[in-house]
Structure 1
Amino acid sequence: MSEPQLTNLALYLQRLGFDAAPAPTLDTLRQLQLRHTGAFAFENLNTLLGQPVLIDLPSIEQKVLHDGRGGYCYELNNLFLTLLQTLGFDARGITGRVVMDQPEGAWAARTHRLSLVTLDGVRYITDVGFGGMVPTAPLILDTDAEQLTPHEPYRIEQHADGYTLRANVGGEWRAMYIFDLQRQEDIDYTLGNWYVSTHPDSSFVKQLMVARTGEGWRRTLNNGSFAIHHMGGESERRQVTGVDELIGLLENEFDIRVPQHPELGGVINQLITIRK
Structure 2
Amino acid sequence: METDRGDRWHGELLDLDAYLTRIGHTGERAPTLAALRALHRAHVTSLPFENVDAVLGVPVLVDVESVQRKLVRGRRGGYCYEHVVLFAAALERLGFRFTAMSGRVTLGRDKILPATHALLAVTAADDDRRWLCDVGFGGGPLGPVELADGAAADFDGWRYRLARRQGADGIDQWWLHEYGPDGWVDRHTFTLNPQYAIDFVVGSHFVGTHPRSPFTKRLFVQRFTAGRHDVLDGSLRTTTLPDGTRTERKIHPAELPALLTEEFGIDLGSAALARLQDGLVPG
TM-score, normalised on structure 2? 0.89
Alignment of 1:152 onto 2:158: yes
In 1, are the aligned partners of 2:56 and 2:275 still within 8 Å (CA)? no
Q: Distance in 1 between matches of 2:153 and 2:182?
A: 14
Match of 1:226 in 2: 237
Q: Distance in 2 between matches of 1:169 and 1:116?
A: 24
Q: Distance in 1 between matches of 2:49 and 2:68?
A: 15
Match of 1:117 in 2: 122
**3-state DSSP class of the match of 1:261?**
helix
Match of 2:25 in 1: 18
Match of 1:56 in 2: 63
* Structure 1 residue ranges, 4+ long, deviating more than 4 angstroms after superposition: none
Alignment of 1:206 onto 2:200: no
Match of 1:216 in 2: 227
Q: Distance in 2 between matches of 1:24 and 1:186?
A: 21
Structure 1 pair 171/27, CA: closer, same or farther in 2 (3 Å)? Answer: farther
Q: Distance in 1 between matches of 2:35 and 2:157?
A: 18
The range that moved more, 149-158 or 44-53, is 149-158
Q: Distance in 2 between matches of 1:234 and 1:45?
A: 28
* CA deviation after TM superposition for structure 1 residue 99, in Å: 0.8
In 1, are the aligned partners of 2:156 and 2:242 still within 8 Å (CA)? no
Structure 1 pair 85/48, CA: closer, same or farther in 2 (3 Å)? Answer: same
In 2, are the aligned partners of 1:13 and 1:19 still within 8 Å (CA)? yes
**Identity between Structure 1 and Structure 2 (%):** 33
Structure 1 pair 168/234, CA: closer, same or farther in 2 (3 Å)? Answer: closer
Match of 2:196 in 1: 185
**3-state DSSP class of the match of 1:77?**
helix
The equivalences for 1:1-276 within 5 A come to: 1-2=3-4, 3=8, 4=10, 5-19=12-26, 21-100=28-107, 102-103=108-109, 105-119=110-124, 120-131=127-138, 133-161=139-167, 162-170=173-181, 172-232=183-243, 234-243=245-254, 245-261=255-271, 264-272=273-281, 274=282, 276=283
Q: Distance in 2 between matches of 1:171 and 1:202?
A: 26
In 1, are the aligned partners of 2:27 and 2:38 still within 8 Å (CA)? no
Write the letter of the residue equivalent to 1:251.
Answer: T
The range that moved more, 148-157 or 16-25, is 16-25
Q: Distance in 2 between matches of 1:220 and 1:74?
A: 19
User: How big is each residue's C-alpha offset from its partner over 1:14-35, in whole Å with a ceiling of 9 and x where there is no partner?
Assistant: 1222346522222211111111
* CA deviation after TM superposition for structure 1 residue 214, in Å: 1.9
Q: Distance in 1 between matches of 2:56 and 2:217?
A: 10
Structure 1 pair 18/143, CA: closer, same or farther in 2 (3 Å)? Answer: same
Count of aligned pairs: 269
Gapped regions of structure 2 (runs ≥ 5): 168-172
In 2, are the aligned partners of 1:151 and 1:217 still within 8 Å (CA)? no
Write the letter of the residue equivalent to 1:163.
Answer: W
Write the letter of the residue equivalent to 1:126.
Answer: C
**3-state DSSP class of the match of 2:153?**
coil
TM-score, normalised on structure 1? 0.91
* CA deviation after TM superposition for structure 1 residue 182, in Å: 0.7
